A and B are shown apart, each in its own frame.
Chain A
Amino acid sequence: MRILLVSPRGEFLCRSEGFAEFMQNSREMRTILHFWNGIGVALPTIAALTPEGHAVEIIDENQEAVDFDGRYDLVGVTAMTQQAVRAYAIADAFRARGVHVAIGGIHATVMPEEAARHADTVFVGEAENSWPQFVTDLAHGVAKPVYNQADFPPVDLDRTPVPRFDLLAKYRYPVIYVQASRGCPHDCEFCVASNVYGRRYKFRSVERVVDDIREAKKHWKFAQIGFADDNLFASRRYSRSLVEAFSAMRFSWFGVCDISVAEDEVFLEALHESGCRTLLVGFETTCEENLRQLDKNQWKLRQFSKYPEYVERIQSWGIGVYGSFILGLDEDDHETPQQIIDFINRNNLMGAQITILTPFPGSRLRDRLVAEGRVIHDQWNWYTVWNAVIHHKNFSPEELESKLLEIYQGVYNPVSNARRSEYFGRVCRQLVNRRASDDERRAESTGA
């Protein structure tokens, strides 16, 4: 069979013209988007899982148009919620040409009935075990309408082959995403992943992760490696082994983690030595009451008072903290935007991603907001996290969007940028001096 796997293009980032203009004209925002541009590991992994004897092609629609008249026997489409509308259009177009279409990914997993209206086969949950079975079934003319991970043995990340990055080598990506683990111990109300994949951790062995990175670097020798894991350092023992292995390799990387990484100064040093340059940390809010409501375990609330100290400690090792914040949480009011700006600027965060609270299907948040009658609509292409799709007691949807722009402007402006640059210049000089002193001390102690 000839198989095409498609990652649909994101429809748009935001409907606010002011915001779009700011994104376009802000050098910092353009740089951030450039470095965060990349494709998820899902499709190259699915390609690698395809049984032998079939020809597989991958198209990233953000890079290249799909040829709907191409001769394919099977088209597989993956989609996050904001890509769903485009995914369905692609699916409909291929089905109209008589091609068997399969849809998977996080959106199809939580909205299988909706996806089934546009696909011959829907994948629910992880597809590592079900995809090979499906391809074999289809080749024998007995493909089912639904393949649900729940009907297969648990996914063992170690048995997943190295992703077929060679199929994406035609594109120039500044970042290549790989995955070392799956799951997150926290239980944030807005998160879909922990609801779908559970809070139990799954790991890929360090050796396999190293193989994945080596394969990626074969095709993009200068690209940074980004970890798609929800919380890369949840197991410190595993993280230490990972970082130790990276130290012997030549690449720089970034990942997502919680703030507790700052508790271990030795680990921070090892992180820097292994090429870690940026950590995305979900602070979520600057309001304690919001944190209390967000996370059933109250873990983030307990860390709240330590945020400034921990950010300083991480960044002192030359690792930039890129903070993630949400606007539109229940307790947010008109002082919130300035509080977020102040937090980011006062703590010299290297960067920040601020989003509007979005009730993604599959999240506990959505269930609650639907029950409260606060979800405005289900037009998935607005679910980009930069559009307001909820009613808030203190903000109209338009205000949420204009306040979001205000926050970005408060963080990325010439004065703040210059201050941030001066701060990191100082941090780097201190780091260089500290390492020189350490080297001298070590040399003295060994009598060299």
Chain B
Amino acid sequence: MTESDLRPRIEQIVSRISRIDASEFHDDVLIREELGIDSLMAMEILATCEKEFDLQLDEAEFSCVETVGEFFQLLEARYAEQRIAG
């Protein structure tokens, strides 16, 4: 799977857990204030992404993420690192 294949799969996970339609995930949308994704939902999203993509994610790193775009970038970066390392 390439990084470009990743986004739709992450969107699917976020959509399932947050119960928000994936069409709402625009890069500049604020994750907490606009989408209303709280910390527990975020942790479930991270845990699901870890399992699905075999990643190690740091919750503290996520706490610095503000927008949907930043979240996807973070996951894509971790995924790329994992592929290089693996």
Contacts and interface: CB of A to CB of B under 8 A. Distances in A.
Interface of A: 31, 34-35, 174, 221-224, 249-252, 275, 277-278, 318, 320, 350, 421, 424-425, 427-429, 431-433, 436
Contact of A221 (B24, B51, B59): B24
Contacts of B40: 277-278, 318, 320, 350, 424, 428
Interface residues of B, number: 23
29 contacts: A34-B33, A35-B36, A35-B38, A174-B33, A222-B20, A222-B24, A222-B36, A250-B20, A252-B19, A252-B36, A275-B19, A277-B38, A277-B40, A278-B38, A350-B40, A421-B43, A421-B59, A425-B47, A427-B43, A428-B43, A428-B46, A429-B47, A429-B50, A429-B51, A431-B47, A432-B47, A432-B48, A432-B51, A436-B51
B19 A251 contact: yes
Contact of B51 (A174, A421, A427, A433): A433
A364 B20 CA distance: 44
A205 to B, nearest CB: 23
B34 interface: yes
A277 B18 CA distance: 10
Given A421-B59, A432-B51, A223 B36 contact: yes
B19 A431 contact: no
Contacts of B60: 421
A278 B38 CA distance: 10
Given A250-B20, A252-B18, A436-B51, A174 B36 contact: yes
Contacts of A250: 19-21
A105 B47 CA distance: 44
Interface in B20-51: 20-21, 24, 32-36, 38-41, 43-44, 46-48, 50-51
Contacts of B48: 428, 432
A119 to B, nearest CB: 37
Given A222-B34, A432-B47, A421 B39 contact: yes
Contacts of A429: 47, 50-51
Nearest to B35: A222
Given A275-B19, A425-B59, A428-B44, 4 more contacts: A222-B34, A250-B20, A252-B41, A436-B51
